[in-house]
Chain A
């Protein structure tokens, strides 16, 4: 299994490094920009926004140091970086089956579930590295921007871990899609589609009362980094559904891959 884990990480090493550095730089730039803004102006601007736009800022005070820094972790750039990583890596099983690379590996005495487990572990490690890059960027920002000095590094770490949990759930969904579909492009399409629908569902639930009960079905509904950076904790009502989604989908993928035919006609 270690061979496949190593192979997965080696194949994705450039992607992991670029996304980790990019995430870190993005969070650092956001943190540095805090020194140049007028907190009161931001606060009053947000207050005047219509609900449809205000929903993007989350429940925290976006003008506060923790709210501002935390909100950067749910910025579309941050979401895209982590989403691209997990979807590209977790769909590798479908891609390798399509190209025939899986045939080369699985004609050796290696159980398919162990093959998939190694790839799952590689996604987890890569996600930890990229989320770590984002955390380090934010931490560096706290260190160099005086106005952010009051933000706790530990709280920021919890916020980043919460973000990783969101994308672990998305990784589980992608693994399941990779096992259920034929072809890497289909797996990517399904996973990206589910991510977009999930994001849209969360947004709608915040701006439209009719859709509000559907909010908890979205993984993004359980993640508000602005609040977490301030409090330093994630409620059980949020981390349990995220962890459950990650575990259940990943376990289902491992069960199903044993039954799947791993070569075409």
Chain B
């Protein structure tokens, strides 16, 4: 059996007062599409830089594609395509020259370059221009081509859709989905929860440098959960709904009640039929809702797998 794409054990990295990561253990299997979620400063980029050997952990170890970063970093990097979250390119080089230069630093040939240029909408004319003339979105596209042009077995993408317009974001997610089916492991951090939900098999959530949970997207139970908002024509006590099984995070604001429903809606509808309902909105529970719930101050931590 092949070793995991990423195997981190107890990774800890602190920077004085600044947060880093603390005791992060995480395994990403080959061929997985893995989403890494967290707010700014949660430790996502620090973890990624540790996984690339750009930073050294104070504790713990990490292996990438079976190569221990502490002893065999070059072999590991030969199998990785990486897009930094804070992309910095050489402004005086043209787009074409940038891609060629970065391709020559990688042992794998840039077999996917043309395909990626087409998917991301970078044209020949764009590549002839100096990178300093590029918009943020164009730089991001160039960075993506540079990271993925080698058809790397492991793609590590830090905020890959930043600066891209929605159409290109969608095309990128579809392209990554297709590549992952041919064996590419995709590990990416993102704030765009919809794309993580659409693409990923599993997600990890970090907060304050600690891993909150690692779950299959399907195991988050999002399919059965509903975000409910009910507005009554007159104030209704919270206790009137307490009889319904599966209501969580119940908030009341005047005549409006908001809560999460984790069970089938039949009993709720039966109770609501006895109350003066003025408006009712029942929406599928999204990953965004789940994250909001998890990141709520004082929310209990889930277990990391």
User: Which residues of A line the B interface, CB within 8 A?
Assistant: 3-4, 6-7, 10-11, 99-101, 103-111, 261-263, 265
- In the complex, the answer to whether B84 meets A100 with C-beta atoms within 8 Å is yes
Could you say which of A7, A107, A261, A262 contacts B90, with CB atoms under 8 Å apart?
Answer: A7
- In the complex, the answer to whether A104 meets B107 with C-beta atoms within 8 Å is no
Q: A101-B88, A104-B89, A109-B74 are in contact. Are A263 and B54 (CB under 8 A)?
A: yes
User: Which residues of B line the A interface, CB within 8 A?
Assistant: 15, 18, 20, 45-46, 49, 52, 54-56, 73-75, 77-78, 80, 82, 84, 86-90, 92-93, 101-102, 104-107, 143, 146
User: Nearest-CB distance from A116 to chain B (Å)?
Assistant: 15
- In the complex, the answer to whether A3 meets B105 with C-beta atoms within 8 Å is yes
Cβ of B45: which chain A residues have Cβ within 8 Å of it? Answer: 265
Could you say which of B56, B75, B87, B102 contacts A100, with CB atoms under 8 Å apart?
Answer: B87
Cβ of B49: which chain A residues have Cβ within 8 Å of it? Answer: 103, 263
Knowing that A107-B82, A107-B84, A110-B74 touch, tell me 19 more A-B residue pairs with CB under 8 angstroms. Answer: A7-B90, A10-B93, A99-B88, A100-B87, A104-B88, A104-B89, A104-B102, A106-B54, A107-B80, A108-B77, A109-B75, A109-B77, A109-B78, A261-B54, A262-B54, A263-B49, A265-B15, A265-B20, A265-B45
Cβ of B92: which chain A residues have Cβ within 8 Å of it? Answer: 10-11
Please give me the residue from chain B that is nearest to A261 by CB atom: B55
User: Nearest-CB distance from A40 to chain B (Å)?
Assistant: 52
| A10 CA / B143 CA spacing, docked (Å) | 20
Interface of A is mostly: helix
Cβ of A106: which chain B residues have Cβ within 8 Å of it? Answer: 54
Cβ of B82: which chain A residues have Cβ within 8 Å of it? Answer: 107
| A265 CA / B13 CA spacing, docked (Å) | 9
User: Nearest-CB distance from A216 to chain B (Å)?
Assistant: 39
- In the complex, the answer to whether A109 meets B88 with C-beta atoms within 8 Å is no
| A110 CA / B65 CA spacing, docked (Å) | 17
- In the complex, the answer to whether A265 meets B78 with C-beta atoms within 8 Å is no
Cβ of A104: which chain B residues have Cβ within 8 Å of it? Answer: 84, 87-89, 102, 143, 146
| A34 CA / B260 CA spacing, docked (Å) | 91
- In the complex, the answer to whether B55 meets A103 with C-beta atoms within 8 Å is no
